[in-house]
Amino acid sequence: MLKYDLVVIGGGPAGMAAALKARECGVQKIIILERAATLGGILEQCIHTGFGLHYFGEELSGPEYAYRFIEELKKTDIEVKVDTMVTDILPDNVIVATNNTDGVMQIQATAIILAMGCRERPRGALDMPGSRAAGVMTAGTAQKYVNIDGYMPGKKIVILGSGDIGLIMARRMTLEGAKVEMVCELMPYSGGLTRNIVQCLDDMGIPLKLSCTVVKTHGLERLEGVTIANVDENRRPIPGTEQYVECDTLLLSVGLIPENELTRMAGIVIDPITSGAIVDEYRQTSRPGIFACGNVLQVHDLVDYVTQESQIAGEGAAKYILSGGKNNEYAENTIRVKAESGVRYVVPQNINRSTDKDVKIYFRVADVYKDTSVVVTCGDEVIYKRKKRKLAPGEMENVAIKLDDIAKLSENEITVKLEV
Amino acid sequence: MQYDVVVIGAGVIGTMITRELSKLDMKTVLLEKCGDVAMGSSKANSAIVHAGFDAENGTLKAKLNVEGASLMEYYCNKLAVPYKNIGSLVVAYSQEEMTTLEVLYDRGVKNGVPDMEIIGQEKLREMEPHIGDEALGALWAPTAGIVSPYELTIAAAENAVVNGAEIRRNSGVFDIEYKDGMFYVSTSTGVIKAKYVINCAGVFADKIANMIGDTSFNIIPRKGEYYLLDKIENKFVNHVLFQCPSAMGKGILVTPTAHGNVLLGPTATDLDFDSKLDVETTSAGLDEIKASVKRVIPQITTRNAITSFAGLRAHVVDGKHDFIIEPSKANDRFINVAGIESPGLTAAPAIARYVGEMFGKMAPEYEKKAEFISTRPEPIKMAELSPEERAEVVKKDPRYGRIICRCEGITEGEIIDAIKAPCGARDIDAVKRRTRAGMGRCQGGFCGSKVLEILARELDVPMNEITKYGNGSKILYDKTK
């Protein structure tokens, strides 16, 4: 059996940043297992710019952002196996992986970092009646066809869902000569970043129809059109508002799902809201020595934040490995972080009282809020309060809790909430 | 092109009959209008092996159902098709329905269904712990089961080809002429001459019969809509769960599938004669399933739906509620195998034998082949192997080490096998039915484009010629600028 101090599953931005950070913290034998043919993950097909503004202070394309980490990796002796798929995580941190050169490998790891990313919600999850014609695909699949394979998957396009990939693809397909008829969004607000609405829709003259959805697909072989309808406050189509839109392609950008099949298989506790693992401030999961970061933990808006989160996990894994696999004494020393009134979820969900630095709590809100305060309380005590001009579900927020405050907490529970 | 027999329609009935006929020393061709076999009702049905208590006593349907149910395991073993003998329960929710169970029980006994039992609430709860509170009892039929219907069809097609039959896909029949003891079957890929015709055209069987002047039956499509759920819902149901039957069919059922998913459906909506291609799902149909399932297993929701789809039952209008399997009155060398709605899948092995015997009497001139290969080799399924077994396979061929479909764990080697098989896959959905690549919870979001690449490479065509399911179902247009 192969033996490594740290096995990182996934060689996208999360896995690369976590591995590099662990190395920087002194971990010796590290391997990254990546299922695709190259490192970089989804960044490889994101040829638009907008990456790195926070982390590098400059605007990079996806491949450029990935390249910086790939180059850093090359300077180390961190091993990388591409085209390699992890199929099982067995007890005692043994990983089973397969590829076409090594066959089936079993790897004993001291610590594991889960960085498998996320996938797009497919049509089946949408309850969308109609035909099964070709031409209905996720925005990310279309992005791969256009940017990697060099083929156009359609000419007359309707996009359902205003997630960032959908917005990016609205612009991309337009620039490639397709006619993007509209972007329909079920909610009364967009799920994407404001800058993407401006740059990808407004600048391209593509209408964004809010509170609107596709209620039927038409066409026997290739898609011929869709029926759209407005929805009421319960997101139900309003009879009489149906409208037929001719198109040969329907792109779906209706949400991302963290890919936690391995995580579940490993018996790790999952947060029903984030669909990612429940973690502590170093992103350690409920299984000692297994950490999670990036979109497999929670879906991020910006890769910059993925990088930051993954560095935290890399550092956490290093501490675990270098202390000889010592388990953080979880139960009694743990402060639970709760989400309440307007806050949908928080990451991390747990903080060790004996932690050694400030902790940033990341969260998303449930609706669009204006002039609202983000408040963190412990019992009756307010330990953080700041007013925000605007909060939206599409933009991840965070609050930093000072190390001193953590040590002084009167109870083993803190709550993040909104106050008008 | 001259043949002894033309079989029209490559559903489960057409392929199983073609396989049966490939035992004889003659030239047989199977014509299919779509790009693959199993493209009609055979890929969109309840995937159930019915025990045989539904059909009226004394009907051909009753006889072939019970025979088929007892033959299914044998055929699935021979042809390496997923099958599980899990048994079925017809669940009753009122005293009136409990009485219906007795009617079904008596009918089943007369049809020759073995080992049935009417069970009470307690036993039912023991067998199905998640059953809804209102359930009072059930009819237990241990010979019922589940089977992968499209894989049975594909396996029969492959085995028929191995035994010398020819399958012509993309060959829709638009005219048949009979002169001087010979049928001239006009297809989209040329005229086929043959001495005998077997009409297995499903919902189109009446149209095919009309071509030789046989207007003795008319078929309307009766649509059934379904949900297919993620394997994580599988923990809530152990058997095929029927509700009490009505005039329109057997009601909405809840069942595990042979691959461990959960299937909900079907609805029953009669369409008109011109809607034989209408397999669109409807919001009314999907809502009906959701409402109906709540009563059966309240925990099951469609929140984890992988997909929804619709299939068409070939329903004979004003018929005798029986299969039509007989030589046509218009031409005694033309056998109609029509009106094969439920339990057609269950009956398929028995129908194949029945038609084989009928053909043998009609055309005694054909001898049995000296060598008939009755089994189909088991395809390699990496996800079902232990790590040690997987390692062995990859050592011999590294392509089995490259996983293409993440959700189902399907490798490049398995996809290539599906393409290279007799009657191999030519499009994305054909690969999906043969390997399960794209059948998982991401619905091909990741692997679809890779499968497309592999198909283009193996078939040596540009990527934009690969379709989703044949004909005009293209996926890619031109190259980018």
Residues of A in contact with B391 (CB under 8 A): 103-104
User: Do A102 and A129 have their domain in common?
Assistant: no
pLDDT at residue A327 tops 70? no
Helix pair angle (B448-459, B412-420), 10° resolution: 50
pLDDT per position as a tens digit, B361-396:
999 999 999 999 999 999 999 999 988 899 999 999
Residues of A in contact with B281 (CB under 8 A): 129-130
CB contact B394 to A (< 8 Å): yes
Residues of A in contact with B390 (CB under 8 A): 98, 103-104
User: Do A151 and A193 have their domain in common?
Assistant: yes
- For the segment B215-228, the average pLDDT, to the nearest whole number, is 96
Confidence band, pLDDT 50/70/90 cuts, at residue A333: confident
Residues of B in contact with A146 (CB under 8 A): 480
Residues of A in contact with B432 (CB under 8 A): none
Q: Outline where DSSP puts E strands in A2-128.
A: 2-9, 30-33, 49-51, 60-61, 79-81, 85-90, 94-99, 103-114, 118-120
Residues of A in contact with B286 (CB under 8 A): 127, 129
**Nearest-CA residue of chain B relative to A249?**
B475
| Confidence at residue B435, expressed as pLDDT on a 0 to 100 scale | 97
Of B309, B446, B475, the CB nearest to A153: B475
**Nearest-CA residue of chain B relative to A252?**
B445
pLDDT per position as a tens digit, B64-77:
999 999 999 999 99
Residue written as tokens 């004889």? B24
In a mutational test of the B interface, the residue from A120, A145, A215 whose CB has the highest number of chain B CBs within 10 Å is A145
**Amino acid at position A129, single letter:** P
User: Do A5 and A93 have their domain in common?
Assistant: yes
User: Do A261 and A116 have their domain in common?
Assistant: yes
* CB distance A127 to A252 below 8 Å: no
Question: Worst-scoring range by mean pLDDT, A119-128, A179-188, A325-334, B8-17?
Answer: A325-334
A96–B307 C-beta distance less than 8 A: no
B481–A176 C-beta distance less than 8 A: yes
Which DSSP letter does residue A342 get? T
Taking 3-state DSSP, the helix, strand and coil percentages for chain A, each rounded to the nearest 5, stand at 25, 35, 35
Q: How many CA atoms lie less than 13 Å away from B231 in the CB half-sphere?
A: 10
B307–A133 C-beta distance less than 8 A: no
B286–A127 C-beta distance less than 8 A: yes
Rg for chain A, CA atoms, rounded:
22
B469–A134 C-beta distance less than 8 A: yes
pLDDT at residue B443 tops 90? no
CB contact A76 to B (< 8 Å): no
pLDDT per position as a tens digit, A181-213:
999 999 999 888 889 999 999 999 999 999 999
Q: β-pairing, A413-419 with A397-401?
A: unpaired
Average model confidence (pLDDT) across chain A = 94
| Angle (nearest 5°) at CA A265 between A263 and A266 | 65
Of B406, B472, B479, the CB nearest to A221: B472
Residues of A in contact with B394 (CB under 8 A): 98, 100, 103-104
Give the closest-approach CA distance of A308 to chain B in angstroms.
26
Closest CA to B307 of A128, A250, A193, A120: A128
Give the closest-approach CA distance of B290 to chain A in angstroms.
11
Point out the domain boundary residue: A328, A357, A377.
A328
The β-bridge partners of A257 are: A119
CB contact A263 to B (< 8 Å): no
Point out the domain boundary residue: A328, A361, A384.
A328
User: Do A363 and A413 have their domain in common?
Assistant: yes
**Nearest-CA residue of chain B relative to A82?**
B402
Percent of chain A with pLDDT over 70: 98
pLDDT per position as a tens digit, A393-403:
988 999 999 99
* Cα–Cα distance for residue pair B87/B50, rounded to 1 Å: 9
Closest CA to B230 of A253, A266, A124: A124
Of B307, B394, B443, the CB nearest to A100: B394
Question: 3-state class of A307 per DSSP?
Answer: helix
A96–B399 C-beta distance less than 8 A: no
The β-bridge partners of B293 are: none
- For the segment A363-388, the average pLDDT, to the nearest whole number, is 94
User: Do A98 and A160 have their domain in common?
Assistant: no
* CB distance B310 to B279 below 8 Å: yes
B283–A215 C-beta distance less than 8 A: yes
- For the segment A350-366, the average pLDDT, to the nearest whole number, is 93
pLDDT at residue B267 tops 90? yes
**Amino acid at position A44, single letter:** E
pLDDT at residue A331 tops 60? no
| Phi, psi values for residue B24, rounded to 5° | -95, 150
User: Do A165 and A272 have their domain in common?
Assistant: no
Give the closest-approach CA distance of A179 to chain B in angstroms.
14
| Confidence at residue A191, expressed as pLDDT on a 0 to 100 scale | 84
pLDDT at residue A158 tops 60? yes
A120–B445 C-beta distance less than 8 A: yes
Which DSSP letter does residue A198 get? I
User: What's the CATH number where A345 sits?
Assistant: 2.60.40
pLDDT per position as a tens digit, B140-160:
999 999 999 999 999 999 999
Of A98, A154, A259, the CB nearest to B394: A98
B407–A149 C-beta distance less than 8 A: no
| Confidence at residue B245, expressed as pLDDT on a 0 to 100 scale | 81
CB contact A336 to B (< 8 Å): no
Closest CA to B53 of B95, B93, B88, B96: B88
Question: Worst-scoring range by mean pLDDT, A272-281, B195-204, B313-322?
Answer: B313-322
Confidence band, pLDDT 50/70/90 cuts, at residue A326: low
Q: How many CA atoms lie less than 13 Å away from A55 in the CB half-sphere?
A: 20
User: SS3 sequence, chain B?
Assistant: CEEEEEEECCCHHHHHHHHHHCCECCCEEEECCCCCCCCCHHHCCCCEECCCCCCCCCCHHHHHHHHHHHHHHHHHHHHCCCEECCCEEEEECCHHHHHHHHHHHHHHHHHCCCCCEEEEHHHHHHHCCCCCCCCCEEEEECCCEEECHHHHHHHHHHHHHHCCCEEECCCCEEEEEEECCEEEEEECCEEEEEEEEEECCHHHHHHHHHCCCCCCCCEEEEEEEEEEECHHHHHHCCCEEEECCECCECCCEEEECCCCCEEEECCCEECCCCCCCCCCECHHHHHHHHHHHHHHCCCCCHHHEEEEEEEEEEEECCCCCCCEEEECCCCCCEEEEECCCCCHHHHHHHHHHHHHHHHHHHCCCCCECCCCCCCCCCCCCHHHCCHHHHHHHHHHCHHHHCEEECCCCEEHHHHHHHHHCCCCCCCHHHHHHHHCCCCCCCCCCCCHHHHHHHHHHHHCCCHHHCECCCCCCECCCCECC
The arrangement of strands across the sheet holding A369-378 comes to A350-352, A334-339, A413-419, A369-378, A381-391
Residues of A in contact with B479 (CB under 8 A): 150-152
| Confidence at residue A193, expressed as pLDDT on a 0 to 100 scale | 87
User: Do A268 and A345 have their domain in common?
Assistant: no
Of A101, A129, A152, the CB nearest to B478: A152
**Nearest-CA residue of chain A relative to B393?**
A103
* CB distance B334 to B212 below 8 Å: yes
Confidence band, pLDDT 50/70/90 cuts, at residue B289: very high
CB contact B390 to A (< 8 Å): yes
Confidence band, pLDDT 50/70/90 cuts, at residue A407: confident
- The pTM assigned to this predicted structure is 0.94
Tokens of B156: 């029969």
User: Do A90 and A40 have their domain in common?
Assistant: yes
Question: Worst-scoring range by mean pLDDT, A147-156, A179-188, A340-349, A400-409?
Answer: A400-409
CB contact B443 to A (< 8 Å): yes
Give the closest-approach CA distance of A139 to chain B in angstroms.
9
Confidence band, pLDDT 50/70/90 cuts, at residue B250: low
* CB distance A270 to A248 below 8 Å: no
| Confidence at residue A328, expressed as pLDDT on a 0 to 100 scale | 54
CB contact B235 to A (< 8 Å): no
A144–B283 C-beta distance less than 8 A: no
User: Do A272 and A238 have their domain in common?
Assistant: no
| Confidence at residue B248, expressed as pLDDT on a 0 to 100 scale | 60
* Cα–Cα distance for residue pair A152/B420, rounded to 1 Å: 28
User: Do A57 and A103 have their domain in common?
Assistant: yes
B277–A149 C-beta distance less than 8 A: no
Point out the domain boundary residue: A205, A235, A254.
A254
pLDDT at residue B249 tops 70? no
Residues of B in contact with A145 (CB under 8 A): 449, 476
ipTM above 0.90, yes or no: yes
| Angle (nearest 5°) at CA B465 between B461 and B467 | 125
CB contact B267 to A (< 8 Å): no
A220–B277 C-beta distance less than 8 A: yes
Residues of A in contact with B445 (CB under 8 A): 119-120, 122, 137-138, 140-141
- For the segment A212-225, the average pLDDT, to the nearest whole number, is 96
**Amino acid at position A187, single letter:** M
Please give the residue range of the domain that contains residue A227. Answer: 122-254
User: Do A112 and A141 have their domain in common?
Assistant: no
How many domains in chain A? Answer: 3
Domains of chain B as residue ranges with CATH: 1-84+145-217+319-378 (3.50.50.60), 85-144+220-316 (3.30.9.10), 382-465 (1.10.10)
CB contact A104 to B (< 8 Å): yes
Confidence band, pLDDT 50/70/90 cuts, at residue A330: low
* Cα–Cα distance for residue pair A89/A102, rounded to 1 Å: 18
| Confidence at residue B1, expressed as pLDDT on a 0 to 100 scale | 85
| Phi, psi values for residue B45, rounded to 5° | -150, -175
pLDDT per position as a tens digit, B158-173:
999 999 999 999 999 9
User: What's the CATH number where A211 sits?
Assistant: 3.50.50.60
Average model confidence (pLDDT) across chain B = 95
Cis omega (within 30 of 0) on the bond before B221? no
In sequence order, which residues have a C-beta less than 8 Å from that of residue B123 and are 6 or more positions away? none
Q: What residues of B are annotated to the active site?
A: 50
